[in-house]
Amino acid sequence: MTSPLILKEDERSFLVQVPVGVPLLSRHRYGSEGFQSWFLRHFAPEVPSRFCQSVAVGKQSFLLVPKTADPLPADRLSIKESSAGRVTVLHPYLPRFDWEPPNEQETAALPPLWLDSRATNAYRWDHALGRAFPGWIGTRLGESILYQSENRLSDAERSSLEASGRAMGLVAGYWKRHERAVQKKTKTDLCPELIWGDASTVQGPIKESGVCYDIDFAEGYSFGLFLDQRENRYRVRHNLIEAGFPVISPRVQHRPQVLNTFAYTCGFSVCAALAGAEVVSVDLSRKYLAWGKRNFVANGLDPEKHEFLYGDVFGWIKRFQRRERRFDLIVLDPPTFSRSKEWGAFKVTRDMAKLIEMVVPLLNSGGRLLVSSNAATWEPELFTASIAKAIRTCHRRIGAQVYATQPWDFGVLRAAESYLKTWWLEVLD
């Protein structure tokens, strides 16, 4: 993996450009992740954060990161500003060089700087729409782009979007209205509409962190993958929540056992299987489980070596309890609202605690629990308090923990603006 943010690299260190607008350190427990912890997780997971050096020039910050868990020389990184925004980078053992900030117009057509475009071609891409489309949402999906807006687009907007999309090397553009009350809409209402380009792109593969997923614009509200869970899938794939906190406890001596509830098209399951786990995926849709199996095959995985269980999650949890099955990781990302025979009407803000009380007994001691919700009105403090109380009710306790929210391409956000709430927990006896 590489990144355009790495300006210089030698056998001892990385010199990294911090993206403008992204905080170097997290400013709030429930807000966006800081760049330093993100970079360490992706490129130097064994390095303590205290060994990093940073310096700022105007709005631009730079980070010097050692490649091993050894501190760099005490001489600090030095950045000197020169004319026309150009800066000179100095350090005792890095070659001196001049760096010039990228042109904003040129970078608008590029992927977000923190993504490796060779490994990821699916992400939010609002900035690619430019100032002419304020409030619109743009999502890059392979060779296509999906636009969302409150109002139907005009012929002039359609022409403008096609021209800019083709200039960026895309082959198709889809549009759909930005709906809020999706439960009241039909599948036809929610399907994106091809507004320009190649109609054969309605279904096909995308890449995320080197993992392949199948998407389908004809499937209604969601095309097959929730992109805001990218960093959490990365954590599962690379068995690393943050430095010193692996997804699978190092005490596990057997092949890791993973339960993915409400599995949808099995994105988390694919990543767990690629990391070496045996995965059980449960969903109330045979169609989505079949889609999940295709995602396994697309990544060279044999679906027959894993379990895909059709049916009500709540019913399967009760079966697992009777069979005394145990897991090393349970993924719990339920829909905000749903209805099932076992449970009836499920509302995540009301019923998540009860659901956790059901699944916690299935976790081995030291097992990990990934709890996530995109209920926008659920305050993070209440979300975490509800989970913690449910775990205490099971006479279990929380060890290591990490709170995470959506990636930066969905906006660099304060806690109050972060709709995606994710809590990674070590659950002890």
Query: Mean pLDDT score of the chain, rounded to an integer?
Result: 90
How many angstroms separate the CA atoms of 169 and 115, rounded? 18
Q: Quick one: DSSP state of residue 188?
A: H
Tokens 């995540």 belong to 348
Q: Which pTM was predicted?
A: 0.94
Q: How far is CA 284 from CA 42, 266, 288, 312, 335, in A?
A: 34, 12, 8, 5, 12
| Residue 331 pLDDT exceeds 80 | yes
| Backbone Cα Rg of the chain | 23
- Contact assessment for residue 303 and residue 293, using Cβ atoms and an 8 Å cutoff: yes
| Residue 183 pLDDT exceeds 70 | no
Question: Mean pLDDT across the stretch 92-120?
Answer: 77
Q: How many helices (H) and strands (E) does the chain have?
A: 10, 23
Range with lowest mean pLDDT among 113-117, 249-253, 265-269, 319-323: 113-117
How many angstroms separate the CA atoms of 303 and 428, rounded? 31
- Residue type (1 letter), 25: L
| pLDDT level of residue 263 (50, 70, 90 thresholds) | very high
Question: Mean pLDDT across the stretch 405-427?
Answer: 86
Within the chain, which residue ranges are assigned CATH 3.40.50.150?
226-428
Task: Count the residues in the chain.
Answer: 429
**What would the pLDDT profile of 35-52 be if each residue is shown by its tens digit?**
999 999 999 999 989 999
**What would the pLDDT profile of 48-78 be if each residue is shown by its tens digit?**
899 998 888 777 888 989 888 887 776 666 7
The per-residue pLDDT for 344 is 78
Residues 6+ apart with CB under 8 A from 318: 342, 358
| pLDDT level of residue 2 (50, 70, 90 thresholds) | confident
Q: How far is CA 423 from CA 124, 258, 386, 388, 420, in A?
A: 23, 17, 12, 10, 10
**Domain 226-428, architecture per CATH:** 3-Layer(aba) Sandwich (3.40)
b (16+ CB within 10 A) / e for 269-281:
bbbbbbbebbbbb
How many angstroms separate the CA atoms of 47 and 68, rounded? 6
| pLDDT level of residue 295 (50, 70, 90 thresholds) | very high
| Residue 424 pLDDT exceeds 80 | yes
Q: Which two tokens stand for residue 1?
A: 């993996």
The per-residue pLDDT for 99 is 79
b (16+ CB within 10 A) / e for 134-163:
eebbbbbbbbbbbbbbeeebeeebeebbbe
Q: Which two tokens stand for residue 345?
A: 């009407």
CATH of 106-208, one of 3.55.50, 1.10.3470, 3.30.750, 2.60.120: 3.30.750
Nearest to 375 by CA among 396, 414, 347, 395: 347
Within the chain, which residue ranges are assigned CATH 3.30.750?
106-208
| Residue 204 pLDDT exceeds 80 | yes
| Residue 302 pLDDT exceeds 70 | yes
For 189, phi then psi, to 5°, come to -60, -35
- Residue type (1 letter), 148: Q
How many angstroms separate the CA atoms of 42 and 293, rounded? 28
Nearest to 121 by CA among 79, 168, 68: 168
